[in-house]
């Protein structure tokens, strides 16, 4: 995979764990990046942890990783350093001002320059002396109680946010969601209104519910299939409610109800007329 002109390179400074290097290589493969540069890396045995964690990146990204010096990176690229700690203000500029990953991506969308995303050590990250040599600082928003991410996690999140710059096509299909015709939606509202009448909902409640349903469907942009399904459900509900007539029995239902009532009356009468048995 040949790098495009604006694809950032990924630089990891002094990583201690081969597995983290492999994880970063895999994230690069996931999100369309290919150039990995390592400053003072550990041994990356082809049968070891790094290649085990790299997935398909073991075929290209990881074996093609280049060992470089920090000074070379600073001199050749527009550099963006990563840090979890940003507890400074405008009086200090080592870790301030900072950008979120999204803000960094948006700023790079209009700039054609070779950029390096620079990650630090697992335990301490990039030190102040290193950060002072870099052009920008990026920090991933996280819980104030524990904002420090694992090196592999941080790289994966940052590269994910950069995907619009680096990935031309994802595995997700291009799906065009077409809203149902307004005539079909209005037809649903007719059945919805009929449902209100069938359940004898009070008029002031009907008005509120009408507006609520209209806002709901307005936000949802239902498809033709979805609105047809909803219409069918309410139509069937109206049919069933109409058959019940809310307790007013007609025809056979009325006859059955009358017969049940007479039977219960006769049973009660017999029970009252039967004398209680007494012991001998």
Whether 249 has a pLDDT exceeding 80, the answer reads no
Q: Would you state the structure tokens that stand for residue 21, as one six-digit string?
A: 């290097």
Please, which pLDDT band fits residue 270 given cuts at 50, 70 and 90? low
pTM of the model: 0.68
- The CA-atom distances, in angstroms, between 244 and each of 38, 119, 202, 231, 237 are 76, 70, 19, 20, 11
Minimal CA–CA distance to 36: which of 62, 13, 2? Answer: 62
- Give Cα 52 to chain centroid, integer Å: 28
From edge to edge, which strands make up the β-sheet containing 9-13?
Answer: 66-68, 36-39, 9-13, 115-119, 78-82, 136-138
Segment 88-130, tens digit of pLDDT: 566 666 676 688 989 988 888 887 889 999 999 998 899 989 9
Whether 263 has a pLDDT exceeding 80, the answer reads no
- The CA-atom distances, in angstroms, between 50 and each of 3, 11, 23, 53 are 22, 16, 7, 5
**Which residues, including other chains, have CB under 8 Å from residue 268's CB and lie 6 or more apart?**
none
Whether 257 has a pLDDT exceeding 50, the answer reads no
Task: Report yes or no: 68 and 39 within 8 Å, Cβ to Cβ.
Answer: yes
Segment 151-201, tens digit of pLDDT: 999 999 999 998 888 777 677 777 777 899 999 999 999 999 999 888 888
Choice between 213 and 254, residue whose per-residue pLDDT is larger: 213
Strand partners, 81: 118, 137
């Amino acid at each position: 995979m040949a790098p495009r002109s604006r694809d950032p390179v990924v630089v990891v400074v002094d990583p201690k764990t081969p597995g983290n290097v492999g994880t970063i290589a895999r994230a690069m493969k996931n999100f369309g990046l290919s150039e990995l540069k390592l400053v003072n890396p550990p041994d990356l045995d082809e049968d070891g942890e790094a290649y085990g964690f790299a997935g398909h990146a073991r075929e290209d990204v990881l074996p093609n990783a280049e060992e470089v010096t920090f000074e070379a990176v600073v001199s050749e690229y527009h550099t963006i350093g990563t840090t979890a700690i940003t507890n400074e203000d405008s009086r200090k500029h080592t870790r301030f001002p900072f950008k979120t990953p999204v803000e960094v991506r948006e700023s790079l969308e209009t700039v054609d320059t070779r950029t390096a995303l620079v990650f630090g050590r697992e335990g301490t990250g990039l030190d102040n002396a290193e950060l002072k040599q870099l052009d920008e600082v990026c920090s991933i928003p996280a819980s104030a109680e524990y904002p420090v991410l694992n090196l592999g996690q941080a790289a994966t999140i940052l590269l994910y946010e950069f995907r619009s710059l680096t990935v031309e096509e994802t595995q997700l299909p291009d799906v065009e969601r077409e809203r149902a015709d307004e005539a079909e939606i209005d037809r649903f509202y007719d059945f919805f209104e009929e449902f209100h009448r069938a359940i004898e909902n009070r008029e002031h409640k009907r008005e509120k519910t009408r507006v609520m349903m209209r806002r709901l469907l307005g936000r949802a942009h239902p498809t033709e299939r979805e609105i047809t399904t909803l219409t069918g459900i309410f139509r069937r509900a109206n049919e069933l409610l109409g058959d019940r007539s809310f307790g007013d029995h007609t025809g056979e239902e009325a006859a059955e109800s009358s017969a049940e009532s007479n039977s219960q009356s006769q049973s009660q009468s017999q029970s009252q007329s039967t004398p209680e048995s007494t012991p001998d």
